[in-house]
């Protein structure tokens, strides 16, 4: 007999429900499908939360900055962060259905002036367009470093050669 998704096999071979942890805690290892009977409840790691009882794991906290919103309250072990309005220079775009998107997008010169967050053109956000891919930047830095090392080695060899040349000329 196979155990269900939320059961482990105990020492008698019987399928037993996984331990349920309180909010702010998760099991120390996966439990279910017959395994994980020795799992214990442990606190959620930093930047993770769990707001209900159960054997499920902690979830990653919402980052308001990543969706360009002000943070109203911090994430705790038992509650996710709460985001507020859009940051200055950003607005929430309405979908065709009339619902507002969760993520705030930057105000640009093309943003309709009907967006109240973007009426003041003084806080337009410049959308950065990378001109050089990161791989090319790394290659450029590596090549530049190699050239500097070669020039320094050649300079050192030139100084050594000049010292020997002048020493031999002075002895004559």
List, for residues 17-41, the tens digit of each pLDDT value.
988 999 999 999 888 777 888 889 9
Query: Is the pLDDT assigned to residue 125 strictly greater than 70?
Result: no
How many Å apart are CA 6 and CA 10, to the nearest integer?
13
Chain region(s) in the chain for CATH 2.10.50.10: 1-60
| Nearest C-alpha neighbor of 84 from the set 71, 99, 94 | 71
Homologous superfamily (CATH) of 1-60 is Tumor Necrosis Factor Receptor, subunit A, domain 2 (2.10.50.10)
Q: Indicate the range of 16-20, 60-64, 128-132, 155-159 predicted with least confidence.
A: 128-132
How many Å apart are CA 112 and CA 21, to the nearest integer?
49
Query: Is the pLDDT assigned to residue 63 strictly greater than 80?
Result: yes
Structure tokens at 24: 């702010």
For 132-167, how does the pLDDT look when each residue is reduced to its tens digit (9 = 90+)? Answer: 555 666 667 777 777 888 888 888 888 888 888 777
Beta carbons within 10 angstroms of residue 31's beta carbon: 23
How confident is the model at residue 74, as a pLDDT? 94
- 86 and 68 in contact (C-beta within 8 Å)? yes
């Amino acid at each position: 007999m196979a155990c269900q998704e939320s059961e482990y096999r105990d020492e008698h071979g019987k399928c037993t429900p996984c331990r349920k942890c309180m909010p702010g805690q998760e099991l120390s290892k996966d439990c279910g499908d017959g395994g994980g009977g020795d799992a214990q409840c442990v606190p959620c790691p930093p930047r993770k939360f769990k707001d209900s009882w159960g054997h499920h794991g902690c979830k990653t906290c919402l980052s308001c900055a990543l969706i360009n919103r002000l943070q109203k309250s911090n994430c705790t072990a038992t509650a996710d962060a709460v985001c507020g309005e859009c940051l200055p220079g950003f607005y929430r775009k309405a979908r065709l259905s009339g619902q507002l998107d969760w993520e705030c997008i930057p105000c640009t010169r093309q943003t309709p002036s009907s967006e109240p967050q973007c009426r003041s053109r003084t806080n337009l956000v410049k959308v950065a367009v990378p001109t050089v891919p990161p791989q090319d930047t790394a290659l450029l830095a590596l090549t530049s470093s190699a050239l500097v090392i070669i020039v320094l080695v050649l300079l050192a060899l030139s100084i050594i050669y000049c010292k020997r040349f002048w020493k031999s000329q002075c002895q004559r």
